[in-house]
Amino acid sequence: MTIDEAQQQVDNWIKTYGVRYFSELTNMTILTEEVGELARIMARTYGDQSFKKSELGKDLGDEMADVLWVLICLANQTGINLTEAFAKNMDKKTSRDKDRHKENEKL
């Protein structure tokens, strides 16, 4: 699935099942919540904290998909074509950082 197809699929789902998009501010808050849930799993899986019994069985991929879903909602609401934005961002990173990481002694 392409990013364009994902944006269209989310839009179709919202119009079919979701009635309408939540407000941009509400979705920004939901995105923050979803990133927090992802961070919790990352901290428990790869960090020093252990899972609580109620957290067992949480799926890392599912949490990442939740973040992506809300990000796509925000892009759709604000008229952002994520394919174009991502390509532009990759060009920016490549031009800015093409030698930076290679020359980083810490890496």
Q: Is residue 52 in some structural domain?
A: yes
62 SS3 class: helix
CATH number of the domain where residue 20 is located: 1.10.287.1080
Q: Is residue 104 in some structural domain?
A: no
Q: Is residue 102 in some structural domain?
A: no
Q: Is residue 59 in some structural domain?
A: yes
- pLDDT, tens only, 27-79: 999 999 999 999 999 999 999 988 888 877 889 999 999 999 999 999 999 99
- Number of folded domains in the chain? 1
One-letter amino acid of 24: E
Structure confidence at residue 97 as a pLDDT band (50, 70, 90): confident
Q: Is residue 33 in some structural domain?
A: yes
- How many residues are there in the chain? 107
- Domain residues for the domain of 73 are 3-97
Q: Is residue 17 in some structural domain?
A: yes
Average pLDDT over residues 95-104: 86
2 SS3 class: coil
